[in-house]
Structure 1
Amino acid sequence: MIRRSIAAIAVIWFMGFLWFTVALPGPMDRGATQAVIVPTGAAGRIERGLEVVEGGDAGLLLVTGVDREVRPSEFAVQFEVPKQLMQCCVFLGFDAVDTRGNATETAEWIAERNIRSIRLVTTDWHMRRAALELSRAIPEDVVIVEDAVVSEPSLRILFLEYHKYLASKVSGLWG
């Protein structure tokens, strides 16, 4: 009986990991939202968020989890953000240090601006957990659109992120 239970758990774990790695979320084509939310991290996220705003599909961009030592002018130079866009539409959040913190920082930022629709831009392997944490932090009537940046994650990254995702799912059951 115990062996069968352990075997069943192992099969469920493996099938979940297989789903997690094979069916990574993809990019969104076009579609307007009020704001774009980009948690700092892997390459391509910030560039994609800026592309959405510059393309007119969102009016505001929050980059959450920015290192406290980064100055807005340095950010603008590094990502080639025009001065006018930086002044009107790009916001840097310095409070978050992890995915849950990104969600909290985002929730406060959108509440201050009465934003009802957001596009979450993050790496494909990070999207599920980021969207889960964000959906828990913001009101249910705020629409989250997922726009994953395609990457080529290593097996190690997928393994770690799968377990972080599972931990996040389980913590939501008790918290």
Structure 2
Amino acid sequence: MIRRIFSFIILAWMLGFVWFALLLPQPAAIAQTDAVVVLTGGPNRIDRGLDILKAGKSRKMLISGVDRDVKPAELAAQYPGSARYFTCCIDLGFQSVDTRSNALETARWATRNKVKTLRLVTHDWHMRRARFELDRSLPSDIIVTNDAVATQPSLNALFKEYNKYWLRAVASLAGI
């Protein structure tokens, strides 16, 4: 009996991994939202957020997880033609160090800025866990759109992220 239960758990985990790896979230169409939140940690994420601002589809953007040593002018210099957005529309979040604290930082920022619709920008392989954490932290009246930046993740990266996702889900059930 124990062997069957263990086999069932392993089979469910393997099928879940196949689902996770083959059906990665996709980029969203550029549509109107109150704000954009970009989680740092990889290429093209900030570019995607800036594209949304430049298209006039959001009024504000939070870049969450910025290193404390980064200055807005230095960051703006890395994205030609974006300096005006860094002065009017972009806030840098220096409080987070991981996905969970990204979500907490975003929730505080969204509440402070009276955001009702939010676009979440992160890599496709990271989207599910980021959204899980964000849903746990945000007020329930904020509507979130997933906007995944497409990547070509390695099998190892997918394996790690899948396990982090499920470990976080189990930890949340335990109240952690």
TM-score bucket of the superposed structures, by smaller chain: over 0.9
**Hey, what does 1:10 align to over in structure 2?**
10
**Hey, what does 2:166 align to over in structure 1?**
166
The within-5 A match list for 1:37-52 is 37-52=37-52
TM-score, normalised with respect to structure 2: 0.97
Q: Secondary structure of 1:125's partner? A: coil
**Hey, what does 2:64 align to over in structure 1?**
64
Q: What whole-Å deviation, never above 9, does each CA across 1:78-106 have from its counterpart, x for those lacking one?
A: 12253321111011110100000100111
Aligned residues: 175
State the alpha-carbon separation in 1 of the partners of residues 40 and 173 from structure 2: 27
Instruction: Tell me: CA distance 1:81–1:129, structure 2 relative to 1, closer, same or farther (3 Å).
Output: farther
Q: Secondary structure of 2:131's partner? A: helix
CA RMSD of aligned residues (A): 0.9
TM-score, normalised with respect to structure 1: 0.97
Q: Secondary structure of 1:18's partner? A: helix
**Hey, what does 2:137 align to over in structure 1?**
137
State the alpha-carbon separation in 1 of the partners of residues 50 and 89 from structure 2: 10
- Percent of aligned pairs sharing the same letter: 46
**Hey, what does 1:125 align to over in structure 2?**
125
Superposed displacement of residue 22, structure 1: 0.4
**Hey, what does 1:82 align to over in structure 2?**
82
Q: Which runs of 5+ in 1 are unaligned?
A: none
Structure 2 contact 77–83 (Cα < 8 Å) conserved: no
Please identify which structure carries the higher helix content: 1
State the alpha-carbon separation in 2 of the partners of residues 145 and 83 from structure 1: 26
**Hey, what does 2:154 align to over in structure 1?**
154
